[in-house]
């Protein structure tokens, strides 16, 4: 079954798009066609979009800061029986009631240059400067220290977390190289050890070799070597008493969520 989904906003539409994808992902049997309408600036454009939505039998997800736009959409969707979800205003109203503060309803407020924005830029710079063990001393200044053998997604995870304002350094683990002494000088709660399944890691490394135009079977992808590397890493994690995450069949987002959840609970 094909289902058309609209994401529309008087801003960039990023929130509506992400929210709609999260919802529709729960219905894998649907064939989805997504349409995005951003920076809507007048009522006529809104009317035309919803006129087409009725024809498409679309499900609509929207964020509208302008109260006049929001009211008109509610009238149209009710009269035309269009399934539409306001994913901004109901939450703003609840927060207003709870905090006794009025929302600014400023378009694009989330993208404003702010202290948080500059903190994020600094975190990204920190991750770049200290990627792949470039500077072990950075362990002392990091919010999160990611450890793992080669090809356990240390770098993409570090940058994903940096985009959430965490200063992250990642250190590659090799049995023949002694782990940095700085690991024993910080709170173990800051350390995250990544591990994976041997067969999955071997496949990833073989594909990496093929991408370089080399033979799939090399010392890098040798079963015994991989076994030794993972055993070394897991042994170190045990000594450090750190959080260990098996990243096999797990997305970067899922791994980051586990880390953030642990950090938040540690603060309680």
Q: Is 195 annotated as a binding residue?
A: no
Task: Measure the CA dihedral 252/258/260/265, to 10°.
Answer: 180
Q: Is 148 annotated as a binding residue?
A: yes
Give the whole-angstrom CA distance, residue 136 versus residue 54: 58
Q: Is 150 annotated as a binding residue?
A: yes
| Coarse DSSP helix, strand, coil percentages of the chain, rounded to the nearest 5 percent | 55, 15, 30
Q: Is 151 annotated as a binding residue?
A: yes
**Tokens (6 digits) for 175:** 């049995």
Q: Are 173 and 148 in contact (CB under 8 A)?
A: yes
Q: Is 247 annotated as a binding residue?
A: no
Give the whole-angstrom CA distance, residue 92 versus residue 104: 10
Give the whole-angstrom CA distance, residue 163 versus residue 30: 32
Question: Minimal CA–CA distance to 41: which of 107, 109, 111, 87?
Answer: 107
Q: Is 213 annotated as a binding residue?
A: no
Task: Measure the CA dihedral 179/180/183/184, to 10°.
Answer: 90
Question: Minimal CA–CA distance to 166: which of 194, 133, 130, 124?
Answer: 124
Binding-site sequence positions:
148-155
Binding residues for ADP: 148-155
């Amino acid at each position: 079954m094909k289902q058309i989904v609209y994401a529309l906003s008087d801003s960039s539409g990023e929130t509506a798009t992400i929210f709609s994808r999260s919802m529709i992902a729960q219905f894998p049997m649907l064939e989805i066609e997504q349409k995005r309408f951003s920076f809507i600036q007048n009522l006529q454009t809104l009317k035309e979009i919803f006129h087409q939505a009725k024809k498409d039998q679309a499900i609509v997800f929207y964020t509208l800061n302008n109260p006049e736009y929001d009211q008109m959409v509610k009238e149209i969707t009710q009269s035309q029986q269009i399934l539409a979800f306001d994913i901004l205003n109901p939450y703003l109203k609840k927060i207003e009631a709870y905090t006794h503060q009025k929302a600014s309803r400023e378009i694009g407020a989330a993208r404003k240059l702010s202290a948080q924005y500059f903190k994020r830029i600094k975190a990204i710079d920190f991750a770049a400067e200290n990627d792949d063990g470039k500077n072990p001393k950075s362990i002392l200044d990091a919010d999160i220290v990611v450890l793992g053998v080669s090809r356990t997604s240390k770098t993409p995870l570090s940058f994903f977390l940096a985009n959430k304002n965490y200063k992250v350094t990642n250190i590659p683990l090799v049995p023949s190289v002694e782990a940095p002494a700085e690991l024993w000088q910080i709170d173990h709660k800051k350390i995250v050890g990544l591990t994976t399944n041997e067969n999955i890691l071997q496949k990833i490394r073989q594909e990496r070799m093929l991408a370089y135009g080399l033979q799939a079977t090399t010392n890098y992808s040798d079963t015994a070597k991989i076994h030794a590397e993972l055993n070394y890493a897991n042994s170190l994690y045990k000594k450090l008493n750190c959080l260990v995450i098996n990243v096999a069949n797990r997305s970067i987002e899922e791994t980051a969520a586990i880390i953030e959840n642990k950090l938040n609970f540690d603060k309680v």
